Amino acid sequence: MLSEACGSSLLLALPDDIFAIVTQSLSPRDLCNLGLCCRGLYALAASEKVWLTQCDMIGIIHLRDLVEWRKGVSSYKALCRFLVSVQPLLGIWVHQNPELGNVVYVMPGFISVVGCRIIPQELGPLGIEDGPILWAPVFEIIGDLDGSATFFLHGRERENDYFYPGSLEPVDRTCNVLLLEVEPRQQRTGGTLVHSKSFAHHLDKDLSRKICRSDSGISKSQRVSGKNALMVPFSRLAFVNRKNLLEIVTSRIRAKVPDSANGLLFPRLRDDENFQKDMVLLFERRSFLLQMHKISGGLIDWKDSPQLSREPTRLESSEIRKSLDHSSGICNSLNGYDGRTQCTKRKTLGVYLKDSLKQILGKSSSIYGSREILKNGSSSSENKHAQLHEFLRSGDTIGLSLHAATMKLSSYRAWPNMHDSRFALYKLPVRPPTAGQEYAGLWGGTFGWPPGRPTEDKPGKALFFLLLSYEESQGQQLLIATKILEGTHYVLHPNGSAMFIVNIDEPSLDPFPWDTDGNSLPVEVKHAFMGEGIANGYGFRYPGSKPGSLFVIQEGLLAFIWKESRAVLTLQRLNLQELLKKGERVPALPPIVNFSYLTKSYSNVFAGFSNTSNCLSSPRQNHL
């Protein structure tokens, strides 16, 4: 009797609501394992209430939104599978180029997650909260009926918007690098190309096994194929081969976006009167994209491509030149978006050609000489580049893929050191505010006082995004404000530079220069700290610094004031998800550069998308 009370019968006797509360202490994997114990627990562990609780615990979307998302999947268990697979992708991703900002924010869409690039811009008279934030789509990952995930890259070519369907590799739970790659696959069955499910890679009736499998984080390109032969990772190819493969695949798999699918990627705020209409449109759009993905599959037969199938298997110099000509065309197309933007990388393209030719002769092992430390501790630059045919023979088709990997990256003041020749985005470690580190997180603001208010001589003010983080140095706690986005016409400070550094343990006695705020209310200074702010003096990459103070003001505002010039940078916390839902969408760049813009640029490559209220014509600030 006692053994029965202590066994599964005790759990089986619990009401569904109570059992759902009990399972809050279990992970989705633990819940799947519990269902393997006996038939009774299997049925109980498959309860909709139990998996709704699991979905809610993941914390990606609100409970009421989960009910809406459930309408597009077979069960809450399938929805949980999708949420588990995409959760590590949420957050802020960056790249070093262009210097004016390559900030991509990944946020929930509708049974999807969407990567949105924040466009460097100036703010109009409405400020950050009410002014439209400009953004462009980069990619989206959509959940299918069974909870598997499909990947779409966004891009714009010749004034047309395109989708580029692909697959999502199993996501590493601690991923910090997002890689755009080409993946070889065995997909021929009876002479036809078969679509591959992106998350689990094949259908399986046992959904629990697929959820558990999602944590592996192992790329297909690293798995064993055939007679225990390791497939060649995409990263081991030479840069010119990786670039060429991406260009070939995207040019062959692209699908023009119809007007019906070129609308919303996520619903507007719930208090918007059009919210329910948004949900209907999003549901129809999602169904269309899933159907399109199943029909096309995003796969091509590389043997039918003369650039890839002929011998010698290394890309010949004529193919390299063809690829470089295509790259030059991309630069020219960018010039079409913005007449002020010029293709400044002809010399760099020449370097690509030179290094590619060296590679054919076996004299070059790296395009830039950068060293990327992989998860297993080996350096990719130390490994000999793999030949193209070694990569292609792993499958008879190739397709686009998104790979969220974990790499050992060094960083400086929260800004990761990046590889120069990887089509990649790097995740920023945004820490939530905690006791003793109350100011950690993402902040946005502009120069000038009152905060964000335009003046007659400056109708628009450059929008800055800063990541505030803490660091211990010589027994002192420093608060570091790292710049990740700048809305000027020509960059003033490099990405990853510290706009200011303050010592939290050293109070400031300097007075706040103004008595009232923008609403003519008295300014209440709660705290003030001594520090140093960025200043010109040692060149662009290594700027100098000048003394200043950070003031904590009412309503959660921060203001850093340079002591000598009295220039003030005012900041407020940002909710990027809400800002984007109220924002304004602009066209994307061509697909590969839309994901990762490897070309070095100090001007705003997105300036052609600005509207009249968000023009990007501010002069360089001379007060720092």
DSSP letter string over 442-467?
EEEEEESSSTT---SS-SSEE-EEEE
Which position has the higher pLDDT, 85 or 544?
85
Q: Which residues contact 406 (CB under 8 A, 6 or more apart)?
A: 172, 174, 175, 176, 177, 217, 375
pLDDT at 30: 80
Query: With 80 as the cut, is the pLDDT of residue 356 above it?
Result: no
CA angle 168, 72, 282 (to 5 degrees): 85
Calpha distance 355→427 (Å, rounded) = 29
What's the rounded mean pLDDT across residues 535-548?
83
Which residues have CB under 8 Å from 538's CB, separation 6+? 544
Burial class (CB in 10 A: 0-12, 13-18, 19+), 442: buried
CB neighbours (10 Å) of residue 295? Answer: 10
* Percent of the chain predicted with pLDDT > 90: 45
Q: Per-residue pLDDT for 336 more than 50?
A: no
What mean pLDDT, rounded, does the chain reach? 78
Number of Cβ within 10 Å of residue 90's Cβ equals 16
| Distance between CA atoms of residues 456 and 404, nearest Å | 47
Distance of CA 183 to CAs 397, 407, 463, 575, 596, Å? 8, 19, 38, 36, 18
| pLDDT of amino acid 308 | 63
Name which of 160-174, 474-488, 606-620 the model is least confident about. Answer: 606-620
Among 73-87, 183-197, 412-426, the minimum mean pLDDT is found in 183-197
Q: What is the rounded average pLDDT of the residues 66-95?
A: 95
Query: Number of C-alpha atoms within 13 angstroms, CB side, residue 172?
Result: 17
Instruction: State mean pLDDT over 75-90.
Output: 96
User: Could you tell me the sign of the dihedral formed by the alpha carbons of 59, 60, 65, 69, in that order?
Assistant: negative
**pLDDT tens per residue, range 545-574:** 999 999 999 888 999 999 999 999 999 999
- How far apart, in whole angstroms, are the C-alpha atoms of residue 47 and residue 160? 46
* Range with lowest mean pLDDT among 241-250, 260-269, 314-323, 438-447: 314-323
Q: Which of 168-182, 357-371, 506-520, 550-564 has the lowest mean pLDDT?
A: 357-371
pLDDT band at 530, cuts 50/70/90? Answer: very high
Determine the distance from the C-alpha atom of residue 560 to the mean position of all C-alpha atoms in its chain, rounded to a whole number. 29
- Which residues does 323 contact at the CB level (< 8 Å), separation at least 6? 240, 243, 244, 247, 315
Written as six digits, the tokens of 277 are 């209409």
Half-sphere exposure of 616 (CA within 13 A, CB side): 24
Q: Could you say which DSSP state residue 379 is in?
A: B
Q: What is the mean pLDDT of residues 150-170?
A: 94
What's the pLDDT at 354?
A: 52
* Long-range residue pairs from 535-538, CB within 8 A, at least 24 positions apart, any chain: 535/562, 535/624, 536/624
How far is the C-alpha of 198 from the C-alpha of 208, rounded, in Å? 17
* pLDDT number for residue 333: 41
- pTM recorded for the entire structure: 0.80
pLDDT at 112: 96
d(CA 593, CA 599): 8
CA-to-CA separations, 579 to 103, 129, 401, 576, 583, in angstroms, rounded: 14, 7, 29, 5, 6
Identify the CA nearest to 253 among candidates 363, 385, 384, 151. Answer: 151
622 pLDDT higher than 70: no
- Whether 511 shows a pLDDT value over 90: the answer reads yes
Distance CA 217, CA 172 (A): 4
Higher local confidence (pLDDT), 42 or 212: 42
User: Which of 480, 444, 442, 441 is closest to 462 using CA atoms?
Assistant: 444
Q: How far is CA 110 from CA 65, 67, 70, 137, in A?
A: 9, 12, 10, 14
In angstroms, the CA 61 to CA 260 distance is: 26
335-342 own/partner pairs: CB under 8 Å, 24+ apart: 337/587, 337/589, 337/608, 337/609, 338/604, 338/605, 338/606, 338/607, 338/608, 338/609, 339/608, 340/603, 340/607, 341/601, 341/603, 341/604, 341/605, 341/607, 341/608
